[in-house]
Amino acid sequence: MKIPIKRLNKKFSLPNTPKVQQGWDRVINRFNDMNISIESFIKLGEGCYGCVYAINDRQVVKLTKDSSELHTMAIVMKYPHPSIVKVIDVFAVKFGRNVINFIIEEKLDNADYEWKLFANLANEDTNWITPYLVSTTRDNIIKYYKDNVYAAERLNEKFDWLDAIAHYFQLHKIKFADIHFDNIMKKKDKHILIDLGCSRSPKQNVEYLNAY
Ligand SMILES: Nc1ncnc2c1ncn2[C@@H]1O[C@H](COP(=O)(O)OP(=O)(O)O)[C@@H](O)[C@H]1O
Ligand SMILES: [Mg+2]
């Protein structure tokens, strides 16, 4: 599949003009420099800020309007964490005043159902995980769910995973407490957090390419 430039222009509020096309040619060259042909991208997902394409069977690229994610992912690239997606490259492209942020990441597999269920506690009616990261204790949550959803040990294992990530965020002054079921994926037997959109972190010195 060829990357759908026209649809991307619409998504990122860019007009279909020769100037914009020229801008995309610069982006294509930037990818060629990395030996990546954007001819073979396959779309994996789309949200309100951007979209994610598979580059090949090992890498994906996320295009997003959300600059907060670019800066946070630049930190993750510099300081990798075993439970956060491996970041291979980050850069931003300026189409005049419009900025598109590019994040190249390792391609992961879907998480198993049980983890989806766990993380789902975050964004359905209970909203447990986000308060856990900010205020409540795991004992409170475990007490509530012990008889209903999981054995306490199984929950503890998942909260240990969350604690390690929360510690990493604290260490690097990243503010992010919005963990959703569809943002946990899997690599072999390990669960991995993707998508740090709408985070806050210290600004990084990232590459900006002027498309025009
Ligand atoms: N590293 C990855 N490996 C495999 N699939 C991914 C990866 N990152 C994102 N995806 C797929 O793309 C979807 C959207 O990505 P995400 O980063 O969550 O974007 P959004 O900010 O739109 O929610 C994910 O739900 C997942 O299906
Ligand atoms: Mg997401």
pLDDT tens for 7-19 read 899 999 999 999 9
Residue 17 CA, ligand 2 centroid: distance in Å: 31
* Residue 42 confidence (pLDDT): 92
* Residue 40 confidence (pLDDT): 79
**How large is the average pLDDT for residues 161-176?**
95
In the predicted structure, residue 133 carries a pLDDT above the cut 70: yes
Percent of the chain with pLDDT over 90: 64
Closest CA to 186 of 85, 108, 117, 104: 108
pLDDT digit string (tens) for 78-124?
999 999 999 999 999 999 999 999 999 999 999 988 887 777 765 55
- Ligand 1 pocket mutation, candidates 44, 68, 187, 190, criterion most atoms within 8 A of CB: 44
Q: In what order do the strands lie in the sheet with 184-187?
A: 109-110, 184-187, 190-193
* Residue 110 confidence (pLDDT): 94
Which pLDDT band holds residue 168 (cuts at 50, 70, 90)?
very high
Pocket lining for ligand 1, CB < 6 angstroms: 44-45, 47, 49, 52, 60, 62, 85, 105-108, 182-183, 185, 194-195, 197
In the predicted structure, residue 2 carries a pLDDT above the cut 70: no
Ligand in nearest proximity to the CA of 106: 1
Residue 91 · residue 80 · CB < 8 Å: no
Closest CA to 50 of 78, 31, 69, 23: 69
Question: Measured from the CA of 85, which atom of ligand 1 is nearest?
Answer: 1
Q: What is the mean pLDDT of the chain?
A: 89
Q: Which 3-state string (H, E, C) describes the chain?
A: CCCCHHHHHHHCCCCCCHHHHHHHHHHHHHHHHCCCCHHHCEEEEECCCEEEEECCCCEEEEEECCHHHHHHHHHHHHCCCCCECCEEEEEEEEECCEEEEEEEEECCEECCHHHHHHHHCCCCCCCCHHHHHHCCCHHHHHHHHCCCCCCHHHHHHHHHHHHHHHHHHHHCCCECCCCCHHHEEEECCEEEECCCCCCECCCCCCEEEECC
In the predicted structure, residue 25 carries a pLDDT above the cut 90: yes
Q: Which residues of 81-103 are buried (b: 16+ CB within 10 A; e: fewer)?
A: beebbbbbbbbbbebeeebbbbb
